[in-house]
Homo-oligomer: A and B are copies of this chain.
Amino acid sequence: MNVNDLLAKLHANLPAENTGVVASYIPELAHVDPTKFGVHAVTVDQREFCFGDSDEGFSIQSIAKVLSLTMAYQRENQKLWKRVDVEPSGTPFNSLIQLEQDKGIPRNPMINAGALVVCDVLLDYLAEPRKDLLAFVHSLSGDDSIGVNERVAASERETSARNRALIEFMRSFGNIRNDTERILDFYCSLCAIEMTCSQLSRTFLFLANQGVSPFTGERIVSTSMTKRLNAIMQLCGLYDEAGEFAFRVGLPGKSGVGGGIVALRPRDYCVAVWSPPLNYKGNSHFGMAFLEGFTSEVGDSIY
């Protein structure tokens, strides 16, 4: 069976009913069609496979945190880890108490507090933050059409009170330097980036290729930094379900409340799947199930 057929078969094997629920915390996300399903895989030698709505754009949301982290890591290297740690955070419930215990240093760059610090770091380096971010994404994916969904960004911006609280709380510990509203603007643009499965898997492929873009040959980050980014995704990429994902799928990955999940097998491939309804831990219900089947069939997990 070829890989495209396998993708179709794995999709056919999903349960008839999807018990997940589409994210509704911002109106723009709630409008998405819950029956959408797409998947796209690309290997480090640039073979590509797809199924379903793999060329339809969706809001990548928290998946983008890996991209801003990569940009900050490029610029700060090890210095970055003085301002954000690399440990799993336990339950979401603990986030604020941990931030207090840890004196304003977020547990990792994948939780909101950590991603906000990463944005704060980048504002010290980028002349035109949103433009520079998109330029980076364009260079990774080889696709200049990727952009920010302005309605989603505006919608995020209007429900920023909690993120504003996190910023001010970290500022009280001296871990924030830039203006709160500038940080929030940048952060909301980041989360509102829209990609197709195809664009998403291509964008992340450098992390499966030891830090080098397979399309351009350009080195994005060092081999060692690549390993560390993958380790962070593995331990912190799926919110409070990182263990379950490592357990069932066994690859470094990152999810977003838009229903996307991207995962990668080092030296082998990157795969992006999209299905909007989320399980109660905030990850795509069918995305998780599909990737579990995929790694069972297509190839080994990293373990």
Chain B residues closer than 8 Å to A232, beta-carbon distance: 243, 246-247
- A101 contacts B96, C-beta separation under 8 Å: no
Give 23 pairs: A residue, B residue, CB < 8 Å, sorted on A: A86-B244, A86-B246, A87-B241, A88-B235, A89-B90, A90-B94, A161-B168, A161-B169, A161-B171, A162-B169, A164-B168, A164-B171, A165-B165, A165-B167, A168-B168, A226-B303, A230-B303, A231-B250, A232-B243, A234-B246, A235-B235, A235-B246, A252-B303
Choose among A88, A167, A171, A296 the residue with the greatest number of B CB atoms under 10 Å from its CB: A88
A266 in the interface (beta carbon within 8 A):
yes
Distance to closest chain B CB from A180 (angstroms): 8
CA distance A244 to B232 in the complex (A): 9
CA distance A140 to B208 in the complex (A): 34
What 7 pairs between A and B have smallest CB-CB spacing? A90-B90, A88-B88, A161-B172, A165-B168, A230-B303, A165-B169, A87-B243
Choose among A162, A224, A247 the residue with the greatest number of B CB atoms under 10 Å from its CB: A247
Task: List A150-207 residues whose CB lies under 8 Å from chain B.
Answer: 161-162, 164-169, 171-172
Distance to closest chain B CB from A105 (angstroms): 12
- B168 contacts A172, C-beta separation under 8 Å: no
Q: 14 extra interchain contacts, Cβ-Cβ under 8 A, other than A162-B172, A168-B168?
A: A91-B98, A94-B98, A96-B97, A96-B100, A108-B243, A164-B168, A165-B171, A226-B303, A227-B301, A231-B247, A232-B243, A234-B246, A266-B303, A302-B302
A280 in the interface (beta carbon within 8 A):
no
CA distance A250 to B224 in the complex (A): 10
- Copies of this chain assembled into the complex: 4
A254 in the interface (beta carbon within 8 A):
no
A36 in the interface (beta carbon within 8 A):
no
Chain B residues closer than 8 Å to A302, beta-carbon distance: 266, 302-303
CA distance A235 to B240 in the complex (A): 12
CA distance A227 to B296 in the complex (A): 11
- B161 contacts A165, C-beta separation under 8 Å: no
Distance to closest chain B CB from A187 (angstroms): 14
Set B165, B231, B236: member contacting A166, Cβ < 8 A: B165
